[in-house]
Amino acid sequence: QNGNAHSLWNIPGPRSDSFWLGNISQFLSKDGGSFHSKLLQRYGLVVRLHSLFSRPMLYISDPKALHSILMKEVEAYKEPDGFMAINMLVFGPGLVSTTGMQHRRQRKMLNPVFSVNHMRYLLPTFYSVAHKLRGAISQRVRDGPQDFDILHWMSRSALEVVGQGGLGHSFDSFESDEQDPYGEAMKALTPALRGLIMISPILPFLSRIGPAWLQRRILDAIPHHDIRTVKHSVGVMFDKANEVYSARVAALNAGDETVMHQVGEGKDIMSTLIRTNQNASGQEKLPEDEVISQISTLVFGATDTSSNTLSHILELLAIHPDIQSKLRDELLTARAAEGIPYDQLNQLPYLDAVVRETLRRQVIDYDCWYPPITLLYRVPERDVILPLYKPAHGVDGTMITELHLNKGTEIALGIGSINTSEELWGEDALVWDPQRWLSPLPKAISEARIPGVYANMLTFLEGPKACIGYKFAEVGIKVTLAVLLSHFTFALTEEKIVWNLAVISYPTVEPDRVNPRLPLRVGELTEGTA
């Protein structure tokens, strides 16, 4: 046995489910949340899984090891080739598809437009979209509480927020009952990417075969519904990205007067990026295709993540009416729906606690958890030594303090596990309890130095590839909650909601496990219901 096989096989983990698929179908299953949860409870922060052909794979939630992978030794690891090939195919050469110098250059150009200062600047845009949404819902519940698919409205509003704030483009006036075709294409992408992941190992080879038309022909020949859906969505996204880019460039070239009459008045992320890029010199300047690719990248990054999280918060508030009233009281007292300043909104303690707690752990029953993005991987590009914070018990009885991994070992990042580990968060780690954020967190959290750009959790990842839009997400979620809870009440319906593990976790209603939906009973807030 070589060093890698020895050290990984010495880590405890579940038996392989099948020689060909290892544990992969359990790990990626729509119900995989309970499998992930059991891994944490049974084996702790370091687990050995079986990948395809029963190769050993590491599932890691140890804070020191994750810090090493995402920060300290980040240059030694890459994202899997298949994953990057999918990103390139779907989004073009934007942030999620590039690495190294090219990625650093893009990040440098984009970081300032995601700063707190820029979020302050965008705050009125967030409020204006939330009030449009409020108007649309008000109209529909005028005659009494109604059951409707809250996810549908959250995804329309998330798209409109990133449209106006990110692209200077309005997608939706919230008048019709239907979402526009672009929003539909985006929403169809997440469940369909599951199919593409299954063929992701062949994609890097495909991208080396001949010209683009030949690659498309080969993809066309694969008779898979998900692949056709992805192709359709990519076509719609590509056309829209080019349209938005041309409109922004034309407005900027026409001068300030024209820009002031555009959606977002030129404050949006794309207009700022295009302006900065036009003024950039030499090596700093991004080629046009890299600028255009940020459009689909941003929209995809911003929509399902935020809308699924918001829907989930509303669902949890419907399950816990006492928490809903307490949060509403805070929002009404602060007049938060009326457009309060950024710092005041951000410092509302209970609002912050509810948002943090849901981003830490999205839970429906005590057996499953689904952070918005759970399935991310890394592969060492050379042999590496991975230090552990908590020594693991080897199968042979020895204590393991560091792992020796060979180049090419598959590593799954335990985002949900580190966010819900009882060793770190305490005995009630699995409980959704916003109250925990109102007193100091357990000492184990600060001692372990959990990597993560947000609130000691890995939900938005850490390091050069961490979520660039986490403040955008936070403000968007808080403004929407401030406006909606100040005007409406939310309750459960009789339908059974089930969350599905996927690239971005999504809710469905039993027995359908395909079409994302989250029904809630929404009523207008009156004195009696407040």
In the list 24, 39, 96, 323, the residue contacting ligand HEM (rule: CB under 6 A) is 96
- What would the x/- binding string for ligand HEM be over residues 434 to 463, using CB under 6 A? -------------------------xxx--
The residue from 16, 23, 51, 297 that contacts ligand HEM (CB under 6 A) is 297
Q: Give dist(CA 32, CA 26) in Å, integer.
A: 6
Closest CA to 363 of 141, 132, 33: 33
Q: Does 465 help bind ligand HEM (rule: CB under 6 A)? A: yes
Residues between 146 and 165 with contacts to ligand HEM, criterion CB under 6 A = 162
d(CA 149, CA 516): 9
Distances (CA, A) of 457 to 41, 99, 417, 423: 18, 24, 10, 14
Give Cα 442 to chain centroid, integer Å: 26
DSSP secondary structure, 217-266, as one string = HHHHHS--HHHHHHHHHHHHHHHHHHHHHHHHHHHHHH-HHHHHTSGGGG
Contacts of 243 (CB under 8 A, 6+ apart): none
**Of residues 233, 297, 313, the one with CA closest to residue 467:** 297
**Least separation, in Å, of the C-beta of 301 and ligand HEM?**
3
Q: Does residue 13 belong to the site contacting ligand HEM (CB under 6 A)?
A: no
Q: Does 414 bind ligand HEM (CB under 6 A)?
A: no
Q: Does residue number 166 form part of the binding site for ligand HEM (CB under 6 A)?
A: yes
Measured distance CA(179)–CA(170) in Å, rounded: 13
What residue has token string 């020689």? 19
Q: Are 299 and 456 in contact (CB under 8 A)?
A: no
Per CB under 6 A, the list member of 164, 233, 309, 421 interacting with ligand HEM is 309
Contact positions with ligand HEM (CB under 6 A) in 363-392: 372-373, 376
Task: Count CA atoms closer than 13 A to 321's CA, side-chain side.
Answer: 9
Work out how close the CB of 144 gets to ligand HEM at its nearest, in angstroms, rounded to a whole number. 32
CA distance 330 to 196: 44
Beta carbon of residue 309, minimum distance to ligand HEM (angstroms, whole number): 4
Comparing CB distances to ligand HEM, the nearer of 169 and 465 is 465
Q: Which residue is nearest to ligand HEM (CB)?
A: 469
Number of residues interacting with ligand HEM: please give it, by CB under 6 A: 24
The distance of closest approach from Cβ of residue 172 to ligand HEM in the complex, given in angstroms and rounded to an integer, is: 17
Known binding residue 368? Answer is no
Of 17 and 79, which CB lies nearer to ligand HEM in the complex structure?
79
- Structural tokens at position 8: 């990984």
CA distance 175 to 466: 36
Is 141 near ligand HEM (CB under 6 A)?
no
Q: What angle do CA 109, 470, 358 make, to 5 degrees?
A: 170
In the window 470-509, what residues touch ligand HEM (CB under 6 A)? Answer: 472-473
The stretch among 46-54, 137-145, 297-305, 397-405 that binds ligand HEM (CB under 6 A) is 297-305
CA distance 322 to 310: 18
Among 301, 380, 434, 516, binds ligand HEM (CB under 6 A): 301
Cβ nearer to ligand HEM, comparing 59 with 472: 472
Of the pair 8, 373, the CB lying nearest ligand HEM is at 373
Does residue number 130 form part of the binding site for ligand HEM (CB under 6 A)?
no
Give min distance, CB of 147 to ligand HEM, in A. 25
Q: For residues 403 and 386, is the Cβ–Cβ distance under 8 A?
A: yes
Instruction: Say if residue 80 is preceded by a cis peptide, omega within 30 of 0.
Output: no
Q: Which stretch binds ligand HEM (CB under 6 A): 39-47, 65-73, 125-133, 304-312?
A: 304-312
**In angstroms, what is the minimal distance from the CB of 473 to ligand HEM?**
4
The binder of ligand HEM chosen from 306, 409, 421, 480 (CB under 6 A): 306
- Which of 475, 459, 505 shows the shortest CA–CA distance to 352? 475
Would you say 210 or 287 has its CB closer to ligand HEM? Answer: 287
Binder among 55, 78, 107, 120 for ligand HEM (CB under 6 A): 107
Q: Closest by alpha carbon to 386, among 161, 72, 91?
A: 72
Q: Which of 271, 305, 409, 417 binds ligand HEM (CB under 6 A)?
A: 305
* Per CB under 6 A, 302 contacts ligand HEM: yes
468 binds ligand HEM (CB under 6 A): yes
The helix-helix angle for 288-319 and 81-91 (nearest 10°) equals 100
Are 269 and 95 a contacting pair, CB within 8 Å?
no
* DSSP string covering 330-350: HHHHTTGGGT--HHHHHT-HH
Q: Does 236 bind ligand HEM (CB under 6 A)?
A: no
In the complex, minimum distance from the CB of residue 492 to ligand HEM, in angstroms, rounded to a whole number = 22
- Of 162 and 323, CB closest to ligand HEM: 162
Give me 141's structure tokens.
């519940």
Q: What is the closest distance, in whole angstroms, from the C-beta atom of residue 303 to ligand HEM in the complex?
A: 8
Annotated binding site for heme: 467
What is the contact surface with ligand HEM in residues (CB under 6 A)? 95-96, 107, 162, 166, 297-298, 301-302, 305-306, 309, 372-373, 376, 459-461, 465, 467-469, 472-473
